[in-house]
Structure 1
Amino acid sequence: MTTDIPRSALPDTGSLTVLGTGGEGSVYALPTTAVPPQVVALAGEHKLVYKEFRTPDSPERARHHRAVVDVFRKFGSEQQQWLRDRAAWPVATVVDGSAVVGVLMPVIPEMF
């Protein structure tokens, strides 16, 4: 059920605006034109960001990230909207081959 987006389908990070960098990786603003429409729809009215991990996920972390994406998809539309308004919850995983290298998330609401 998880949507895997090939890393090669996204713009090079050098062309994206860096929104933040932390221990796990960097977060970039992502134009919606660079993302499949079904993923844009999952973000609702929120813009999307790409969180690129410093290192690819271990198999255990990859399962975790895919499970988090799958949980979001199981929620009803009202639950999804509630969560989008309060958190940057992953809606897709980004893969390089079989490795999970990042996630796509709605941008965190400004109040946070």
Structure 2
Amino acid sequence: MQALTWFGMWDKLTREEKLILTIDVRAALSHVEEGQVQAGIVYRTDALSSDKVKIAFTFPEESHSPMTYYAAAVAGSRNGKAAEDFLKFLTSKDFQSILLKYNFKLPMPNAEDGR
């Protein structure tokens, strides 16, 4: 919505009923993969995971808020050690190589210290 608004297209597309909204990005991607729609707006990383679609356009970064994923351990969790281990894995070199493989940006350098 932000990017379409930035381009001045949101109101026109919704008024002319040219959009279908899906429950999540995977559903939107599935509609495109199955030929149910001519085009879809999905995360680049999801589009790259499919061999049934091609990227026709990328919204400029200034047209929308950054897509940010957060991870945190719940204080007092009975699985606290496992949660801490998982958070350490998320900042490991092994996981960073997985992020790069799927075209994600690497976590901020201070991600380990919780800031």
- Point out which structure has higher relative CO (alpha carbons under 8 A, 6+ apart): 1
Structure 2 length-normalised TM = 0.22
Structure 1 length-normalised TM = 0.23
Please state which structure has a larger fraction of its residues in strand. Answer: 1
